């Protein structure tokens, strides 16, 4: 593993950010558990996404569809026949690799040193994860765990149109788990078998000009969003898909890529899905999936411009991008908006009851509105270091002067600068940093 990635994975385990799934049983490849710190960061990221996509917009509504769906929905969406990766198999040990992962194949070939490794011809391998519902196993009860969260949105298109005041153009946002039988999970959480996605399906008039306009709009909108979270511009880029790499549903596709320790990698995608999904669901369900314009009575099958981001991948790249080391210190320079704790409160000395009481009062007064950490162990230097490693932007220390002037020392994570702030201004100070 790459050196930076190795250190980062160790940090995630040491500080309760991400643990391997089923750790005490030797793990389960492609699954990860978010710890006490990681689960807060992940929730902050999802909440912020929802806030910006649904709460702040009047053209997007939310949805939370079931993970398990009637298997016909997956036939309609094309996933049963076309959601697959080409695989090759090593004829010596029968391990399988994605045929396009030339480096992994070469490394595996070398691992059999001396022996001539032969590979099978590429074969398509479906990525949908199967499950059985009900008491009898077999074809009748076979279902799929959703391979993308998208289908639950499309099948509810008419429910949403009829139950809300949306008018085209409008979007439906959703966040939730997806499952893929990835052949080679790897690069930490980058390619997992269970992961979360956050998506907007944005329905528009079925016209090329509209399609191009909204496709460009969402590319810029999403790139700006990640930049607003403090990601470094030089580590992000847009890449259009070639004709032969587009998913079966896409007319056009662009990825936002991140300059990961293992090379430029897909971060999220913007796809013009055309009328693929609604038309296919109309065909397979026999239900009308068309939209009737309330002003003109014009009836048509809308196109869908989709923005689809992995929650886990977004988190991984936000964390990697914020990782910094100087003079032996590791600091996660995370945006205060997604940092797990907005501030930490310390009494200068843990054995001075008057300092502890004062600090405790500040801690209790801030807690209802912000996630705040408390630490009274060791010396101040060690406490700063521990908070830096989980990205806490501000450390608030109550010292002996506080007892006289009702002010505290606030230390900034990124600059190390300390300023004196009156206790009654702390709430306002933190609010200003996260809005
Ligand atoms: N609904 C469209 C869709 O699912 P995708 O490009 O297959 O498109 C969208 O996936 C995003 O989901 C990716 O850009 C990535 O962030 C995330 N993703 C896909 N497969 C993943 C995996 N195996 N592990 C983690 N994240 C994944």
Task: Summarize pLDDT for 288-325 with one digit per residue, the tens.
Answer: 999 999 999 999 999 999 999 999 999 999 999 999 99
Residue 312 CB–ligand 1 contact under 6 Å: yes
> E strand or H helix at 421, and its extent?
strand 418-422
Q: So what's the pLDDT on residue 183?
A: 86
Ligand 1 atom closest to the CA of 268, numbered from 1: 14
> CA angle at residue 115 from 113 to 121, to 5 degrees?
110
Residue 342 CB–ligand 1 contact under 6 Å: no
Q: What is the pLDDT of residues 322-366, one digit of tens each?
A: 999 988 899 999 999 999 999 999 999 999 999 999 999 999 999
Q: Round to whole Å and give the CA distance between 186 and 30.
A: 7
Atom 22 (ligand 1) nearest CA: 191
Q: What is the pLDDT of residues 69-103, one digit of tens each?
A: 999 999 999 999 888 888 888 888 878 888 888 88
Indicate whether 125 pLDDT > 90: no
Residue 201 CB–ligand 1 contact under 6 Å: no
Residue 180 CB–ligand 1 contact under 6 Å: yes
Q: What is the DSSP string of 153-193?
A: HHTTHHHHHHHS---SSEEEEEEEEEE---SS-BTTTTB-S
Burial class (CB in 10 A: 0-12, 13-18, 19+), 370: middle
Which phi and psi (to 5°) does residue 217 adopt? -60, -50
Beta-bridge mates of residue 178: 195
Q: So what's the pLDDT on residue 107?
A: 84
Q: Round to whole Å and give the CA distance between 120 and 127.
A: 19
State the distance from the centre of ligand 1 to the C-alpha of 250, rounded, in angstroms.
14
Upstream peptide bond of 169 is cis (omega within 30 degrees of 0): yes
Atom 6 (ligand 1) nearest CA: 269
Residue 308 CB–ligand 1 contact under 6 Å: yes
**Token pair listed for 110:** 């070398």
Range name among 81-90, 122-131, 258-267 with the lowest pLDDT average? 81-90
Q: What is the pLDDT of residues 159-180, one digit of tens each?
A: 999 999 999 999 999 999 999 9
Atom 13 (ligand 1) nearest CA: 268
């Amino acid at each position: 593993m790459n050196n930076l990635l190795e250190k980062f994975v160790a940090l995630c385990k040491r500080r309760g950010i991400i643990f391997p799934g089923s750790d005490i049983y030797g793990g389960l490849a492609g699954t990860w558990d978010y710890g006490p710190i990681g689960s807060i960061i992940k929730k902050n990221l999802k909440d912020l996404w929802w806030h910006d996509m649904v709460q702040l917009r009047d053209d997007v509504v939310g949805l939370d569809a079931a993970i398990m769906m009637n298997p016909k929905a997956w036939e309609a969406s094309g996933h049963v026949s076309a959601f697959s990766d080409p695989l090759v198999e090593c004829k010596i040990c029968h391990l399988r690799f994605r045929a396009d992962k030339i480096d992994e194949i070469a490394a595996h070939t070398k691992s059999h040193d001396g022996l001539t490794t032969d590979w099978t011809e590429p074969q398509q391998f479906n990525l949908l994860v199967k499950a059985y519902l009900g008491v009898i196993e077999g074809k009748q009860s076979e279902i799929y765990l959703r391979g993308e969260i998208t289908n639950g949105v499309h099948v509810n298109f008419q429910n949403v149109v009829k139950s809300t005041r949306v008018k085209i153009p409008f979007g439906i946002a959703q966040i939730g788990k997806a499952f893929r039988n990835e052949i080679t999970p790897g690069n930490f959480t980058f390619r997992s078998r269970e992961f979360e996605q956050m998506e907007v399906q944005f329905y528009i008039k079925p016209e090329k000009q509209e399609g191009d306009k909204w496709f460009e709009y969402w590319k810029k909108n999403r790139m700006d969003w990640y930049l607003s979270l403090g990601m470094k511009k030089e580590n992000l880029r847009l890449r259009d898909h070639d004709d032969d790499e587009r998913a079966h549903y896409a007319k056009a596709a662009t990825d936002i890529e991140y300059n990961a320790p293992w090379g430029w990698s897909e971060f999220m995608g913007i796809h013009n899905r055309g009328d693929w999904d609604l038309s296919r669901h109309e065909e397979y369900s026999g239900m009308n999936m068309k939209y009737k314009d309330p002003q003109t009575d014009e009836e048509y099958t809308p196109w869908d411009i989709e923005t689809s981001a992995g929650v886990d991948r977004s988190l991984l790249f936000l964390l990697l991008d914020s990782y910094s080391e100087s003079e032996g210190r590791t600091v996660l320079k995370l945006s205060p908006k997604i940092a797990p704790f907005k501030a930490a409160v310390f009494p200068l000395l843990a054995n001075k009851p008057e300092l502890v009481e004062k600090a405790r009062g500040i801690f209790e007064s801030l807690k209802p509105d912000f996630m705040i950490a408390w630490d009274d162990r060791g010396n101040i230097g060690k406490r700063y270091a521990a908070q830096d490693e989980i990205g806490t932007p501000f450390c608030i220390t109550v010292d002996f002067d506080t007892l006289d002037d009702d002010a505290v020392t606030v230390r900034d994570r990124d600059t190390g600068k300390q300023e004196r702030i009156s206790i009654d201004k702390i709430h306002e100070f933190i609010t200003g940093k996260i809005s």
